Amino acid sequence: ERLPNCPFLFRVERKTCQDSSRIADAMGVCVCKGAASIEVSGTCMRVWLLLIIIIVPLGSCFMVATLRAAAHRVKKAEMQWRIGVEQLQWEDPPVVLGQGTHGKVLRANFRGTPVAV
């Protein structure tokens, strides 16, 4: 190809990129092939793969946080049903209401109400 008023003959060749996942654009810059690829840290990466790399860890963190919050709520709900030994008033001597293989059932008062412990 000859330019006007120029004694030189030019031949324009399409640039070839060394990486097979890239192609030269109109300016000769190697860019990622296809619309479904983007460049991440100098490497062409498929968009769906990038989404998986981002979504899976975030989803896992969300699941762990949700499960921990649920476990905390359950533990908090169970704590309201626990009675400390200091809240019980025992008779002297303790009255045994029953006895089994795992222990004895004693009579006590909790806030003025008779209970079996």
- pLDDT score recorded for residue 97: 93
- pLDDT score recorded for residue 35: 83
For the chain, give the mean pLDDT.
88
Kindly report, residue by residue over 7-32, the tens digit of the pLDDT: 887 777 777 888 888 888 888 889 89
Q: What is the mean pLDDT of residues 40-55?
A: 89
What string of DSSP letters covers the chain? -B-TT---B--------SSTTEEE-TTS-EEESSTTEEEETTEEEEHHHHHHHHHHHHHHHHHHHHHHHHHHHHHHHHHTT---GGGEEE-SSPPEEEEETTEEEEEEEETTEEEE-
- pLDDT score recorded for residue 88: 92
The reported pTM is: 0.48
- pLDDT score recorded for residue 16: 84
Q: What is the mean pLDDT of residues 66-74?
A: 96
Does 58 or 21 have the greater pLDDT score? 58
- Beta bridge partner(s), residue 90: 108
- pLDDT score recorded for residue 80: 80
- pLDDT score recorded for residue 108: 93
Domain ranges of the chain: 83-117
- pLDDT score recorded for residue 2: 67
